[in-house]
Amino acid sequence: MKTNRIEFIKNLIIIFATILISFVLGIIFNDYIWGSLTLIFGFLNAYYMAIGKWQNYIFGILFTLTYTYICTINGLYGWLIFSFIFYLPVQIYGIINWFKNTINKEVETKGFTLKNSIIICSSIIIGSTVLGFLLSLIPNQNLAFLDSTSQIINICGVILISIRFKECWYVWLANNVIDLIIWIINVIRGTINSEMALIVSVMYLIMNIIGLIEWIKIEKRQKSINIINKSETLNN
């Protein structure tokens, strides 16, 4: 009971701190509506995902909607297209799958095989090339191949976390690099909402590093629990 209370207070502090910092940054960059909301939802999505809690999907849906708006007005139509045909449906599937696979209220993690690695790498290369070509045909599309690579890598990351592979964090770290390049270019060009989007990208980079570390810890705890359970079963 005491642990639950401490966790509740901790989460409450993080939520209020996130809202406060996001609106302060929004005022600084004159982007206190879409920019602030995207930063709030993005951080809380990443935070709850990092600690293996189902709430990440709620904030993930909200982040997808606000970030889609920012990407659309900046001519990054890859995110717009995949938001409604992929990201939102997968978020809904993810939250259902999450509840079915938990150990002590933590998500049950899985690890990659060589086959998984080959499939993911091949999918990223082929998907990014094909999507980049298609996006380049859209008038006013900016940074077509960077946009396509970001979307395909992000899709792989979303799929992997929905089926509970810890390697999703490595995939998202690769996506962070692409996103940072995209938004640095947009900041230099002076496009709308780009400063706050860049801050969101930096925030995701930090949270994904934390997420990787936390999921490695979760995996170790679960292996210990499984060893103990097997030992008890053999003794019985």
Task: Tell me the pLDDT tens digit for each residue of 131-188.
Answer: 888 888 888 778 888 888 888 888 888 778 777 777 888 888 888 888 898 889 888 9
Stated as kind and residue range, the H or E segment containing 131 is helix 114-136
Taking the C-alpha atoms of 183, 188, 190 and 194 in order, what is their torsion angle to the nearest 10 degrees?
Answer: 20
Confidence of residue 236 (pLDDT cuts 50, 70, 90): low
Stated as kind and residue range, the H or E segment containing 103 is strand 102-103
Residue count (the chain) = 236
Give residue 2's pLDDT: 59
The average confidence (pLDDT) of the chain is 80
Give residue 228's pLDDT: 66
Residue 153 and residue 87: Cα distance in Å, rounded? 12
Query: What's the DSSP call for residue 193?
Result: T
- Quote helix, strand, coil % in the chain, to nearest 5: 80, 5, 15
